[in-house]
Amino acid sequence: MSTDRGYHHGSLRAAVIQASFELLAESGLQHFSVAAVARRLKVSSAAPYRHFPDRAHLLAAVSAAAARDLRAEITAAADAATPDPAARLAAAAGAYVRYVVRTGAGFPVIFAAELYELADESRREQTRALLTTLLDLAAATGTRTYREDLLLVETTVAVAHGYTTLYVDGFFARNSSTIDDVAARAVAATRTLITPDRA
């Protein structure tokens, strides 16, 4: 008897995406595969292909969902911060750390190089919206040019991703830092780096 019958046609797609997030959080992008997702769900290896023709299309769906959800968390964190524009942008670093530790879907997944040539408008819409949100937060700090906005976003993401990687790799285990502790460090470090010294 097929093990695929536990999922209705519509719910299998959602289950495949959810299982993909779980695998990414556990093993990272390099070990991500459609076959591993099928094993996680205890369905046939062919079942996910009913919704996704290959790994790239599945990863694109995960990328779109991750960009959408990360944008929502960044927006919420910025809105919960003080009104100071630098604090609002720095809050994005903390949101990034929390989200990526939980889901495994950071910028290397959202902007995976293998997806660059894939025509997926849903993914492109969500990734554009995420970047626009970050660029708007950067511009609000008083930058003079679009290039400065990009550099501030780059700084924010680099710091946040660095803290995320250190946390996932166990660097902070020896002093029992929680994810909230590490997120707060990322916010503080980002705030220090992005606070402009402008006339």
Question: Is residue 100 within 8 Å of 106, Cβ to Cβ?
Answer: yes
- pLDDT of amino acid 27: 84
- Rounded distance, CA 17 to CA 113, Å? 19
Tens digits of residue pLDDT in 112-126: 988 988 888 999 999
- pLDDT of amino acid 77: 98
Q: Is the pLDDT of residue 197 over 80?
A: no
Q: Is the pLDDT of residue 127 over 60?
A: yes
Q: Is the pLDDT of residue 3 over 60?
A: no
Q: CATH assignment of 56-194, given 3.50.30.50, 1.10.10.10, 1.10.357.10, 3.20.20.70?
A: 1.10.357.10
- List the Cα angle 75/78/80 in 5-degree steps: 110
Q: Is the pLDDT of residue 83 over 80?
A: yes
CATH of domain 1-52: 1.10.10.60
What are the tokens at 62? 């995960």
Q: Is the pLDDT of residue 174 over 90?
A: no
Q: Residue 89's closest CA among 142, 134, 130?
A: 134
Q: Is the pLDDT of residue 79 over 90?
A: yes
> In the predicted model, what is the mean pLDDT of residues 55-75?
96
- pLDDT of amino acid 1: 35
Neighbours of 94 (CB within 10 A): 27
- Rounded distance, CA 16 to CA 84, Å? 40
Domain residues of the chain, as ranges?
1-52, 56-194
Residue that is written with structure tokens 């290397």 in the block: 108
